[in-house]
């Protein structure tokens, strides 16, 4: 038997967890000392108005940092990041600051930049060195076999494994399971998500403990840490550098392309423009993410001719598929208030089902204070700390296709995106299967300790927000639950996919010296969580490009 809580204050706790009320801890933040490689990171205001490099990388995010570190071994590299550094921000660097980082946002310089899809689903993108790997939940797991088979790239799997291992030696740790994650592990096994694969970084069907980019002390590590492997004499990193557009020039070549990238224009915090240009045989590489890279292609004049003309953008290349084939893996689930004390835990355990659903969980202790003021209490009320636990499912794929377009010619303004969640029946079927599996988990023995006991011995869950449908065997009712409660797990991708906008080497089709190395090229999400594969991609492509130059 289940019952919803009527308290509006407790419902506020759900909003904090899922939609973004700021969570602030009273604990004194631990001081995070900046790493030694900070010496080659400078504010963009310190850079010359014009300079030349072998490689210019736009976006110091999940893929951009390992790419820059790798290329700098042999060539002069400029890495441009529109945000700041993470190491002087306690909430970014702390496990317990995850919710605050996602929700304490502003328009132009917070580490997380919020946006809302046209469906009304709140979302976020990274705006800090390290990108989304510096603001996410830290779960680390390699891609599934299906990703490598369907990505459109021809992979050297030996180099893939070496690139994963390069990342893992630096920033991946084995998490310690506590109350909630242990219970989820046991529940998954009880309801048949077999086998138990133990701790592994590989994608495997069954229940497993994945890696974490939070160490044992709760300190975050991100792709920004991989810059420690850069050759300091060959790399410069500019923070608070907002790239306005890629500079393009007409230049017939043996490849048949009549347009070439020659550099970028970026603006510093004072509004001054800088020109970064590439040397002979150099390249511009966009690693600005699934929103930022398609947006920059549009603003640089690469996109559908008729569409760019409506914005008054000079057309350099009529490329009809920029901004198409955008995807976001929908997240659905439930949240409960347990009757027992609970720790903060982000995703550590995952259940990989054979029905196209991945099951994960988190727990948070959330402070909130009553807005009501009692005439009998003169002193300010102390916040009430409420534990909230969540079980969620993410679907494989997805196959529902969305669309990205400009909202402004100001690059600082988020583009407009519609993901069209569940527009393909296959996605909806997978969500229904995952939702039913959550129902099985709630009915497992492992979950009994998280139910409250009522008079006469009855036990029930104290739900916050929408509970699961009572009749989960009803396809229509369960599908309606999926549509009503859809949210994001922040794994959106696409917008410049392989075979449409870029080729199998991630070079922009029709433009010389311009590549994309980030999730905008993906037509499928890699496994349960993408950050491992994006960091691998940065290292992998860097090694591949070095080999190309050495031939």
- Which residues does the annotation mark as catalytic? 491
List residues bridging with 24 in a β-sheet.
none
Close Cβ partners of 528 (under 8 Å, ≥ 6 residues apart) = 139, 141, 203, 210, 350, 352, 358, 360, 394
The label of the residue with tokens 């940065």 reads: 538
- Whose CA is closest to 246, among 287, 317, 297? 297
Q: Give the span between the Cα atoms of 311 and 298, in whole angstroms.
A: 10
Close Cβ partners of 403 (under 8 Å, ≥ 6 residues apart) = 323, 324, 326, 417, 418, 420
Handedness of CA 472, 474, 477, 482 (dihedral sign): positive
50 SS3 class: strand
Q: Give the span between the Cα atoms of 169 and 67, in whole angstroms.
A: 16
Close Cβ partners of 67 (under 8 Å, ≥ 6 residues apart) = 57, 285, 287, 517, 538, 539, 541, 542
- Whose CA is closest to 519, among 539, 509, 533? 533
Q: Which helix (H) or strand (E) holds 199?
A: strand 196-199
| Three-state DSSP string of 120-148 | CCEEEEECECCHHHHCCCCEECCCCHHHH
DSSP 276-343: EEEEEEEEEEE-SHHHHHHHHHHHTTEE-HHHHHHTTPPPSEE-TTTTEEEE--EEEEEEE--SS---
Report residue 2 as tokens. Answer: 């289940």
Count CB-CB contacts under 10 A for residue 304. Answer: 18
- Whose CA is closest to 525, among 143, 2, 90, 42? 143
Count CB-CB contacts under 10 A for residue 409. Answer: 13
């Amino acid at each position: 038997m289940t019952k919803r809580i009527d308290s509006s204050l407790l419902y506020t706790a759900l909003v904090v967890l899922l939609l973004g009320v700021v969570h602030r801890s009273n604990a004194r933040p631990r001081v995070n000392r900046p790493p030694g490689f900070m010496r080659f990171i400078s504010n963009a205001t310190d850079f010359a108005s014009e300079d030349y490099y072998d490689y210019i990388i736009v976006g110091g995010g999940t893929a951009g940092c390992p790419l820059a570190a790798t290329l700098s071994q042999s060539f002069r590299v400029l890495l441009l990041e529109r945000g700041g550094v993470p190491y002087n921000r306690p909430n970014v660097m702390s496990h317990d600051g995850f919710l605050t980082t996602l929700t304490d946002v502003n328009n132009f310089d917070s580490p997380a930049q919020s946006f809302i899809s046209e469906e009304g689903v709140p979302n976020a993108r990274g705006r800090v060195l390290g990108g989304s790997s510096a603001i996410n939940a830290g779960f680390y797991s390699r891609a599934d076999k299906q990703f490598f088979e369907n990505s459109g790239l021809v992979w050297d799997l030996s180099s893939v494994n070496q690139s994963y291992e390069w990342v893992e030696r630096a920033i991946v740790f084995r998490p310690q399971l506590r109350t909630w994650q242990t219970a989820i592990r046991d529940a998954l096994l009880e309801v048949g998500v077999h086998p138990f694969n133990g701790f592994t970084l590989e994608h495997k069907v069954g229940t497993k403990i994945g890696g974490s980019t939070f160490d044992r002390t709760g300190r975050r590590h991100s792709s920004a840490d991989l810059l420690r492997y850069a050759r300091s004499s060959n790399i410069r990193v500019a923070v608070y550098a907002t790239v306005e557009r890629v500079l393009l020039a007409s230049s017939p070549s043996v490849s048949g392309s009549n347009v070439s990238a020659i550099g970028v224009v970026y603006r510093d915090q004072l509004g001054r423009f800088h020109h970064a240009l590439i040397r002979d045989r150099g390249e511009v590489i966009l690693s600005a993410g699934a929103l930022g890279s398609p947006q920059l292609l549009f603003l640089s004049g690469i996109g559908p001719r008729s569409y760019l003309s409506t914005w008054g953008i000079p057309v350099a290349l009529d490329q009809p598929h920029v901004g198409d084939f955008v995807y976001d893996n929908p997240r659905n689930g439930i949240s409960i208030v347990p009757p027992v004390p609970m720790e903060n835990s982000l995703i550590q355990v995952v259940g990989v089902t054979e029905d196209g659903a991945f099951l994960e969980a988190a727990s948070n202790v959330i402070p909130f204070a009553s807005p009501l003021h009692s005439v009998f209490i003169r002193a300010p009320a102390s916040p009430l700390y409420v534990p909230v636990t969540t079980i969620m499912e993410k679907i494989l794929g997805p196959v529902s296709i969305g669309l990205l377009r400009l909202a402004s010619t100001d690059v600082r303004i988020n583009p407009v995106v519609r993901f069209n969640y569940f527009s393909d029946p296959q996605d909806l079927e997978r969500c229904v299967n995952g939702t039913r599996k959550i129902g099985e988990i709630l009915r497992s023995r492992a979950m009994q300790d998280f139910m409250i006991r009522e008079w006469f011995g009855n036990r029930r869950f104290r739900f916050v927000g929408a509970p699961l449908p009572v009749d989960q065997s009803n396809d229509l009712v369960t599908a309606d639950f999926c549509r009503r409660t859809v949210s994001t797990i922040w794994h959106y991708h696409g917008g410049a996919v392989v075979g449409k906008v870029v080729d199998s080497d991630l070079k922009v089709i029709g433009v010389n010296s311009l590549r994309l190395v980030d999730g905008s090229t993906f037509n499928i999400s890699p496994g349960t969580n993408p950050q491992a594969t994006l960091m691998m991609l940065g290292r992998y492509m860097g090694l591949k490009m070095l080999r190309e130059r050495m031939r």
